[in-house]
Amino acid sequence: MKKKYLLLVVACLLLTGCNNEKLNAENQSVISQSAGGSETRISEHDPVESDEATVDGSDGQIEDQSFDINLSGWGDVTFASFMPEEARNKDEDVMFMLLNGDKEVYRFPGITEDNHRIGQSFQKIDAIAFKDYDEDGRKDIIIINEYSLQPGDPKENYYREARVYHQEDEGKEFRIDNHLVEYLNNYYYNDTIESVMKGIKKYREKSETNFYGDYQITACRGTATAYALSQEEIDAVIGSSLNYQANSFNTMAAGYEEETYPTDRLYEDFRVKPTDLGITKKEVTVVSVLLEGDFIGGYFYILDENTLLVYYEGVFFEAKKTSENHSKE
């Protein structure tokens, strides 16, 4: 009886070893494609802080798409990719985490809030790159995934989707750069990391001169040495909406004048350091709305494709883009 039991255990171990080899081979095939691209539907939501759960290596981690990396605010960590667990939900998407040893310390937000993609089936990761695309001195994360519209679709029906994570201001958390991602996938800059970077460059060039869209003033970033608004007036401005169109501002017919502004002039003009306002570049584009009168939104700096720094009465307000115009290329 003991001999039969031992033979059964040995047989099970051999079968398990074969299954692991098969899984490793599948993961290797996923990784060997590391130069791919993508397409997207996006929802805005907050990133998720983890509870430092232990990852034991049996949770579907894609070893060849997991990398040791030093990231701002996190130090030396492992950026880890995880296959969807079909047993939980057939619509579950690929998952990304930061690990410290075998501890989960951060979970990246997905494209949707619950990380499920209805009617879309994750197939593989084509590429992951760590690049400072927004030139703020911190590494950003570019990912290209492949999806099908339903399980079992032939490979020729797969489509690619680029995803870009960045850190806002000095925070640790990563967010999906939604406007940029939408642009990359709408115009098919998602085949390779090289094509994504080309798309980012083109998008930033367009954004520097095409700031049109709807914005909301979200915060006060600072003030000049002398400013004319009371704290109550500053608080009242936050939440205000701004609309810039090619020939109008807030429904009024208007034009725009742009110029390159050396950021070190901020101290000369207002006695405020650029870094105190969250500006790290040496130059920014400044825009004046060509209308008579003094009004909020009439003078602003373009910080990036989604953010304006609006100057009014000695106060610098942050304005975030809520929508934009899309034009065909």
pLDDT of amino acid 100? 95
CA angle 51, 53, 59 (to 5 degrees): 135
pLDDT attached to residue 88: 53
What global pTM score does this model have? 0.53
Residue 18 lies inside a defined structural domain of this protein: no
Residues 197, 77 share a domain: yes
CA angle, corner 212, sides to 133 and 240, nearest 5? 100
Whether 183 and 60 share a structural domain: yes
Same domain, 218 and 204: no
Which residue's structure tokens are 């809520």? 322
Sign of CA dihedral 178, 179, 184, 187: positive
Query: 224 with 105, same domain?
Result: no
- Same domain, yes or no, for 168 and 281? no
pLDDT tops 50 at residue 156: yes
H or E segment to which residue 2 belongs = helix 2-31
Q: How many Cβ atoms are within 10 Å of 272's Cβ, its own excluded?
A: 18
Structural domain count of the chain: 2
Contacts of 65 (CB under 8 A, 6+ apart): 30, 31, 34, 81, 125, 128
Cα distance between residue 167 and residue 176, in whole Å? 9
The yes-or-no verdict on residue 20 having pLDDT over 50 is no
Beta bridge partners of 308: 302, 319
| 135 plus 225 within the same structural domain | no
Q: What is the pLDDT of residue 118?
A: 86
Q: Is residue 280 part of a domain?
A: yes
Pair 140, 264 in one domain: no
**pLDDT above 60: residue 8:** no
pLDDT of residue 93: 93
Measured between alpha carbons, how far is residue 295 from residues 135, 217, 240, 308 in Å? Answer: 32, 14, 12, 15
Least confident range of 31-45, 68-82, 293-307: 31-45
174 falls within a domain: yes
Task: Look at residue 209 in the predicted model and tell me its pLDDT.
Answer: 58
Boundary-marking domain end, from 191, 209, 227: 209
Q: Which of 6-10, 30-34, 62-66, 306-310 has the lowest mean pLDDT?
A: 30-34
Q: Where do the DSSP E strands lie in 135-205?
A: 140-148, 159-167, 174-176
Estimate to the nearest angstrom the gap between the alpha carbon of 66 and the chain centroid. Answer: 18
103 within 8 A of 56, measured Cβ to Cβ: no
Domain boundary among 148, 179, 209: 209
User: What single DSSP character describes residue 149?
Assistant: S
Is 43 part of any domain?
yes
At 209, the amino acid letter reads T
User: CA-to-CA distance for 179 and 324, rounded, in angstroms?
Assistant: 9
For the chain, counts of helices (H) and of strands (E): 5, 17
- 138 is in which domain, residue-wise? 33-209
pLDDT at 328 over 60: no
- Does the residue 187 lie in any domain? yes
CA separation for the pair 35, 129 (Å, rounded): 10
Q: What percent of the chain has pLDDT over 70?
A: 77
Q: In the prediction, which pLDDT does 134 show?
A: 84
Same domain, 97 and 243: no
Q: Are residues 158 and 79 in the same domain?
A: yes
Q: Report yes or no: 304 and 207 within 8 Å, Cβ to Cβ.
A: yes
Does 11 reside within a domain? Answer: no
Average pLDDT over residues 74-93: 84
The predicted structure's pLDDT at residue 205: 74
254 inside domain = yes
- AA letter at 48: V
Q: Are residues 171 and 70 in the same domain?
A: yes
**Are 149 and 217 in a shared domain?**
no
Q: What value does the mean pLDDT take over residues 301-305?
A: 89
Residues 53, 161: Cα–Cα separation, whole Å: 29
pLDDT of residue 22: 35
Asked whether residue 9 is domain-assigned, the answer is no
Residue 96's identity, in one-letter code, is: F
Token pair 């003991």 is found at 2
In this structure, are 197 and 57 located in the same domain?
Answer: yes
The larger pLDDT score, comparing residue 222 to residue 323, is at 222
Give 117 or 145, the one with higher predicted confidence: 145
Residues 195-245 have pLDDT tens digits of 999 999 888 776 665 788 999 999 999 999 999 999 999 999 999 999 998
What is the per-residue pLDDT for 34? 37
Domain end among 209, 236, 266: 209
pLDDT band for 157, please (50, 70, 90 cuts): confident
Calculate mean pLDDT across residues 185-202: 93
CB hemisphere CA count around 149 (13 angstroms): 2
Average pLDDT over residues 123-150: 92
pLDDT at 11: 39
The three-state DSSP-derived secondary structure of 84-115 is CCCCCCCCECCEEEEEECCEEEEECCCCCCCC
Distance from C-alpha of 106 to C-alpha of 157, rounded to nearest angstrom: 33
Residue 24 is predicted with a pLDDT of 37
Distance (Å) of CA 21 to CA 15, 18, 105: 10, 5, 29
